[in-house]
Structure 1
Amino acid sequence: MTTTPDLLRPHAEQQFASELAALAAQDDRPRPPAWHLSPQAVVTYLMGGTLPDGTVISPKYVGARRLVEVAVATLATDRALLLLGLPGTAKTWVGEHLAAAVSGRSTLLVQGTSGTAEDAVRYGWNYARLIAEGPSEAALVPSPVMTAMREASVVRIEELTRIPSDVQDALITILSEKTLPVPELGTEVQAARGFNVIATANDRDRGVNELSSALRRRFNTVVLPLPATFEEEVEIVTRRSAQLGTSLDLPTLPAGHEEIRRVVTVFRELRSGRTLDGRTAVRPPSGSLSTAEAISVVTNGVALATHFGDGAIGPDDIAAGILGAVVKDPAGDAAVWSEYLETVVREREGWGSFYAACREVAG
C-alpha cells in the first residue's frame, strides 16, 4: 500500500509503507503469531534507526524507549494495552503506529463517545435481512472487534473512558475469555492468535465513565508522559508540523526555528506554572496546553504566513493561535494570559514583537 497525494491524512501503513516493507525484508527475529514484524522491529519502527542496508527509519515517537518496549511486549502477550495520558501526549498516534507495525493495518477502530453503542464493540444486524430471514450469519454485521478476533489483528479503541459503562463491560468477556458469544445464532467467535486490543484514555478529562476495576485488570497500562525536556518538545513540534505541512502543501520550517521555540516556551511555562529559568511563578490556565495544541498553533501560523503574509512565519502569525490555545475559559484564562504577558513576555529580551502581536489580538 502506497501513499497517494490525494489523501489529506494517510493511514500510518500508507504513509510509511516503504519503511514497514524495509523492516519486514530485513527482520530475521522471531515474530509472534500473525505479526508482520518482530517486537524488536516494531520498536525500531516507532523509535527510529538505521537498518543494515542503510535504510533510515524515521522516529514516530520521541520519548523513553522503555515505554515503547513495554507496550510492544504487552501486545505480544494475551494482555490488552491501555495507553493513558494527558491530552496531546501522542496516545492515538502511538496506538495507530503500533497497530500498523504489528498487524499491517490500523483501520480497525472503535471511536469512543458517550453515544457509542454495544454493537460497536460486539456486533449489529442488517435489519432488512434480519426481518426477512431471521437471525443468520449473513444478517450479522461484525464490529471492528469481532473482525479483529477473526482475522488475528489488533483493534484500536479510542477514548475508552468516554464509552458508557454497560458498553465497556462488553469487553470483559472478550479480553478474559477471548470469545465473543452470539446467542442469537447459538455460537461464538473465538479470537485467533494475534488478536489484541489497544485502547487509549485521557487521565485528566476522565470522560463520561471511569473504567471498572474488573475491566482495568484486563489491561496493562502504559502512561505516556508529556515531553520531558524543552528540546524534546521542540523536536516533536518541528517533526509533526513538518509532516502536516507536507500534506497541506505548506513550507517546512527549519529545525529549531525561533517561532517553534517561542511557542514551546510559552506552553511549557504556563503548564508548569513557572518560567523555564525557574525565577518567576506564573498562573496556569484551565486548559492542558498539550504538545498537540502547540503543533496546531505552529501549523496554523505557517498557513497564515503562506497565504496572507510574505511566507516567513513571525510573531504576528502565531499570536492568535496561542491566544486561542490558552484562553479556553474567557473569564479566568484571559486574566491569566494578560498577567503572563505583562510579567514575563514584556520583560523578555527579543520578545517585543511577540508581546505587541499578542496584545493586538487580545484587544
Structure 2
Amino acid sequence: MSTSQSTPMPSAPTGPPDAVLRPHAETAYAAELAALAAADDRPRPERWRLSPWAVATYLLGGTLPDGTVVTPKYVGPRRIVEVAVTTLATDRALLLLGVPGTAKTWVSEHLAAAVSGDSTLLVQGTAGTPEEAIRYGWNYARLLAEGPSRDALVPSPVLRAMAEGLTARVEELTRIPADVQDTLITILSEKTLPIPELGEEVQAVRGFNLIATANDRDRGVNDLSSALRRRFNTVVLPLPATLDDEVAIVARRVAELGRSLDLPQLPSALTEIQRVVTVFRELRDGVTADGRTKLKSPSGTLSTAEAISVVTSGLALAAHFGDGQLRAADVAAGLLGAVVRDPATDRLVWQEYLESVVRERADWKDFYRGCRDAAAL
C-alpha cells in the first residue's frame, strides 16, 4: 500500500521587505510616508495618517523642508490628484475611471497607503466575484457547530474597513455582476452593513471610505446602475499628455521593476524607451508624431503599462541573452506581441506601420530590422 504525505502550506516570507517580489506601497515607501508624517502640520481628517496636502505630495512628489525627496507616484494633472484626495475626505466614494493602463490600480493603492497606512483591504472584481466578497462570509465549520455568531462570521475587506475607519479598494468594479455591485449601495449611502443572521449591523466609523476602479472600455459589461453611480465621485485618469511625460513614467517604472527583479544594471535604455513609447502613441492616436501621416490603429489599447512590460522584457533579454546593452531586437518581440492581438487585422496594421513609417526614419534602421526579424519568427 502506498502512502502519501500532505504538502505543507508555504509560510509567509520572514526576510527583509526587499525579499518580497512586490512589497505593498506602505512598505516600499515607508521612509517617505514617515518623513511626510513628521513634516505634516496641517489638519488631518479623523484616522488619516496624513493631511490631504501631504497625501497629494506623496502621490505627486516634492522635496520636504528636511531635504527628503518624495518620488512622484503619478505623473499627470495636479488637479486630478487633488480632487481624488478631497473626495476621500468627504462622505462620497471615489471611482477612478480610464482606459486600461492609466495607473488606476497604482493610484488606488498609493491613496489607500497614504490615507490609511494599509492598501491591502482589496476586493478584486471578476465575473465570478460573489456577494460575500463585499459583505461577509461564514466559517462553515463554526457555523454548523455553534450556529450564527460573531466568531463564525468572516468579514470582507469592506466590512473591516468600515469597522476600523480605513480605506477599502474594489478593483475592476464593472467586471462584477450587477446584483453584486448593488451590495455597495447601502454601504455607501447609509454607511452601514446589516447582518440579518445576527440581528445586527456594522456602522462605518469615521475615516472609512472606498476607492473603486473601472476602465471605460468595459461599457456594456456590467454597467453601474444609476443609483450606485450617484454614490461615487468619478475621476477620469487620462493617458500621459506628452511623449516626454510617458517616457519619464516608463523609464522610472522600468528602473524600479529592474531592481525588484535583480536584473543587472544596464547602460541607458532611454533610446529604446523613446522608440517604444513613440510607436505606442502613434498607433494609439492614429497619426504620426509630426501629424503628416494618418495611421490605422490596432485593436489593443497600447497603454503605458504595456510599454513598461515591453521594455522590462527587453531588459531581461539584453541582460541574460544579449551583450548587456538594450537594443531594438530586444524589445521587438514584446512590441509585436503588444500590437498584434488580433492576427487577422492587427498584423496588417503593424506591417503597414513598419513599411510606411519606421522604414522611412533614417535613425530607426536597426529598429526596423529588429521588428521585421521578430515578425518573421
* Same fold? TM cut 0.5: yes
Shift of 1:249: 1.1
**7, 18, 23: which is aligned to 2:36?**
23
Shift of 1:349: 1.3
The question of whether the paired residues in 2 share the 8 Å contact of 1:320 and 1:358 is answered with: yes
Partner of 1:270: 283
In the alignment, the residues of structure 2 paired with residue 318 and residue 251 of structure 1 have an alpha-carbon distance, to the nearest angstrom, of 17
Look up the SS of the partner of 2:210 in the other structure: strand
Matched AA of 1:41: A
In the alignment, the residues of structure 1 paired with residue 40 and residue 229 of structure 2 have an alpha-carbon distance, to the nearest angstrom, of 34
In the alignment, the residues of structure 2 paired with residue 256 and residue 227 of structure 1 have an alpha-carbon distance, to the nearest angstrom, of 20
In the alignment, the residues of structure 2 paired with residue 3 and residue 227 of structure 1 have an alpha-carbon distance, to the nearest angstrom, of 34
In the alignment, the residues of structure 2 paired with residue 347 and residue 35 of structure 1 have an alpha-carbon distance, to the nearest angstrom, of 55
Shift of 1:253: 6.0
Q: 1:253 to 1:265 in 2, by over 3 A?
A: farther
Matched, 1:88 2:97: no
**302, 312, 325: which is aligned to 2:338?**
325
Pairing 1:49-64 to 2, within 5 Å after superposition: 49-64=62-77
Give deviations 1:213-258, integer Å, cap 9, x for gaps: 0000000000000000000000000011111111011245677710
Matched, 1:192 2:212: no
Shift of 1:204: 1.1
Pairing 1:227-238 to 2, within 5 Å after superposition: 227-238=240-251
The question of whether the paired residues in 1 share the 8 Å contact of 2:266 and 2:325 is answered with: no
In the alignment, the residues of structure 2 paired with residue 357 and residue 31 of structure 1 have an alpha-carbon distance, to the nearest angstrom, of 54
Partner of 1:180: 193
In the alignment, the residues of structure 2 paired with residue 264 and residue 330 of structure 1 have an alpha-carbon distance, to the nearest angstrom, of 22
Partner of 1:244: 257
**84, 88, 91: which is aligned to 1:78?**
91
Look up the SS of the partner of 1:324 in the other structure: helix
Matched, 1:14 2:27: yes
Pairing 1:309-348 to 2, within 5 Å after superposition: 309-348=322-361
The question of whether the paired residues in 2 share the 8 Å contact of 1:3 and 1:14 is answered with: no
- Identity percentage of aligned residues: 74
In the alignment, the residues of structure 2 paired with residue 272 and residue 56 of structure 1 have an alpha-carbon distance, to the nearest angstrom, of 35
TM-score by structure 2 length?
0.94
The question of whether the paired residues in 1 share the 8 Å contact of 2:163 and 2:204 is answered with: yes
Pairing 1:280-295 to 2, within 5 Å after superposition: 280-295=293-308
Partner of 1:219: 232
Shift of 1:3: 6.1
Matched AA of 2:66: D
Q: 1:194 to 1:260 in 2, by over 3 A?
A: same
Look up the SS of the partner of 1:228 in the other structure: coil
Task: In structure 1, list runs of 5 or more residues that go unmatched.
Answer: none
In the alignment, the residues of structure 2 paired with residue 81 and residue 252 of structure 1 have an alpha-carbon distance, to the nearest angstrom, of 39
The question of whether the paired residues in 2 share the 8 Å contact of 1:238 and 1:253 is answered with: no
In the alignment, the residues of structure 1 paired with residue 261 and residue 220 of structure 2 have an alpha-carbon distance, to the nearest angstrom, of 32
Matched AA of 2:292: R
Q: How many residues end up aligned between the 2 structures?
A: 362
Matched AA of 2:351: S
Look up the SS of the partner of 2:374 in the other structure: helix
Partner of 2:6: none
The question of whether the paired residues in 2 share the 8 Å contact of 1:114 and 1:208 is answered with: no
**96, 113, 117: which is aligned to 2:130?**
117
Look up the SS of the partner of 1:220 in the other structure: strand
Partner of 1:128: 141
Look up the SS of the partner of 1:22 in the other structure: helix
Partner of 1:165: 178
In the alignment, the residues of structure 2 paired with residue 352 and residue 23 of structure 1 have an alpha-carbon distance, to the nearest angstrom, of 48
TM-score by structure 1 length?
0.98
In the alignment, the residues of structure 2 paired with residue 138 and residue 10 of structure 1 have an alpha-carbon distance, to the nearest angstrom, of 31
In the alignment, the residues of structure 2 paired with residue 255 and residue 59 of structure 1 have an alpha-carbon distance, to the nearest angstrom, of 21
In the alignment, the residues of structure 1 paired with residue 57 and residue 140 of structure 2 have an alpha-carbon distance, to the nearest angstrom, of 46
Look up the SS of the partner of 1:293 in the other structure: helix
In the alignment, the residues of structure 2 paired with residue 104 and residue 4 of structure 1 have an alpha-carbon distance, to the nearest angstrom, of 16
Look up the SS of the partner of 2:345 in the other structure: helix
